[in-house]
Amino acid sequence: MTERIGIIGGGILGIAMARALSTRGLADVTVLEKEQRVATHQTGHNSGVVHAGLYYAPGSLKALLCQRGRVLTRDYCRERNLPYRELGKLVVALTEDELPALANIESRSIANGVPGLRRLGPEAMRDVEPHVAGVAALHSPHTAAVDFVAITEAMAEDIRSAGGRIIFGHEATAITSGHAEVRVTTTQAEFVFDRLIVCAGLQSDVVAGLVGAAPAPRILPFRGEYWGLSAAKQYLVRGMIYPVPDPGFPFLGVHFTRGVYNTVHVGPNAVPALAREGYGWNKMSFRDTAASIMWPGARALARKHWRMGAREIAASLIKPLYFQQARRFIPELSIEDLTAKTASGVRAQAWSLDGSLLDDFAIEKVGPVTLLRNAPSPAATSAMAIADYVLEHHVLGV
C-alpha cells in the first residue's frame, strides 16, 4: 500500500518536498496550505536571488545544500523554460577596515566551491560595476536572479500531474500522532496520514507546538523593506552589489539587486515585524508582538543588537537615512532616485532561549512528524536540495 504523506505549507519548501515525493512515485501526497495559493509569504516576498554559497560556514547544511540547490534550480528553470539570469554579484569592501571580513568570506567561498569566484581591486571592480565605490570586492559571476513564485507554481503543476493534491484554505489547528498514523485537524476538515512533514515558515514554531515539540527555537519575525531604483538610473547597476556583512548581525545589509525582469531594487533593511505576516508598520498582531517580547532570549538579543536595531528602524521611517546607506556604494545616487517602497518581506529567523541566532537549517523529528524548524536564506535557492536531503535522512526508510 502506498504511504500517505501530508505536508503542511505551500511555500517553495513544502512544494519542493511534495514534488520530490509525488513525481518519483514514493507516496500519496497531500499539501495543506492555509492561504488560497502557493508561495504567499516568504517565497513570494524575497529578492529572487539564487545564491552561490559565499557566506556559509563550510560543512554546514547551508553550504552543502545551497551549492546543490543552485544547480537543481538552474536545471529546472531550463527544463521548464522559466527565466534564469546569471547577473553576478559583487561583495564590496568600502574601506580597508572591511578587508579582513572580505578575506573571511573569500576563504569560506573557496571552501564551499563557489564557481568562478574572483578577488578584484578597484579598477577590476568597476569593469564589472562601473559606478560602484570601494577598495576591493569579490565577484561571484554565477549568482543568479529568478522568479521563485513561478518556480513554485511550476512545481505545483508537477505535483498535480503526478496525482498529488494541494488543498488551499486549510490551516492546521491540531495534530495528534501515534505509531501508526498522524491526524491533522484544519479549519475545514480532518486528514489522516502515515507521515507528516511541516514546512510552515513563519509559523513553523507554532505548528511544532501542535505536535508537542520543544518551544525553542522560536521564530522572531523581521521585516525587510525594498525601495525601487528609478528607471532613469537603473543603468547604475548591472547585476547585484552587496556589502560586506557585519559578522555580529544576522542580516546582510542594504544592497542593490537587478531582478529577473530587469528592474532594480534597493534593500532590504531589517526591522522587527509587528506581526509574523506583517508586511508594513500598519500591520500589527498583539499576540505575535507579545510573544516576541516575552521570549526568554529577547532581552539578550536586544542588549546585543539594540544599536543596529535602532539604526534600522530609523532608516525605515526616515528616507534620507536609508538613502545614506545606499549612497555609500553608488556615490552618483541621489535621493530622488529611490522611488516608492516597492515591496517588503518578513524573514522567519529562529532564535534560541539564550537569544543566540540559529544559523543553519534545522530539522527535527517527533515520531512520524518531520519539522523544518529553521530555513532562512538561502532556503529558496536550496529548496530542491533540502527536499532531497530531508527525504533521504529523515523521512524515507525511517
What is the average per-residue pLDDT within 107-134? 97
Q: Label residue 1 by pLDDT band (50, 70, 90).
A: low
Residue 339 one-letter amino acid: T
Query: Does the pLDDT value for residue 57 go beyond 70?
Result: yes
What is the overall mean pLDDT for the chain? 90
Q: Which three cell numbers stand for residue 78?
A: 531550463
Residue 293 one-letter amino acid: I
Are 309 and 272 spatial neighbours (Cβ–Cβ below 8 Å)? yes
What is the average per-residue pLDDT within 198-212? 95
Question: In the prediction, which pLDDT does 247 show?
Answer: 66
Reported as half-sphere exposure (CB side, CA atoms, 13 A), residue 337 has a value of 21
> 273-303: per-residue pLDDT in tens?
777 887 776 676 777 777 777 777 667 766 7
Question: In the prediction, which pLDDT does 292 show?
Answer: 72
Are 142 and 115 spatial neighbours (Cβ–Cβ below 8 Å)? yes
Weakest-pLDDT range from 61-65, 186-190, 222-226, 227-231: 222-226
- Looking at 3.40.50.1220, 3.40.640.10, 2.40.50.140, 3.30.9.10, the CATH number of the domain 86-144+221-348 comes to 3.30.9.10
Residue scoring higher pLDDT (193 or 272): 193
Query: Can you point out the beta strands (E) in 141-263?
Result: 144-146, 165-168, 172-177, 182-186, 190-193, 195-198, 218-229, 240-243, 255-258
Question: In the prediction, which pLDDT does 390 show?
Answer: 97
Question: In the prediction, which pLDDT does 193 show?
Answer: 97
- DSSP single-letter state for residue 2: P
Q: Which three cell numbers stand for residue 84?
A: 534564469
What is the average per-residue pLDDT within 313-318? 66
In the chain, where the domains are located: 4-45+149-217+359-395, 86-144+221-348
Q: Domain 4-45+149-217+359-395, what fold?
A: FAD/NAD(P)-binding domain (3.50.50)
Q: What is the dihedral of CA 279, 198, 387, 221, to 10 degrees?
A: 30
What is the average per-residue pLDDT within 79-102? 97
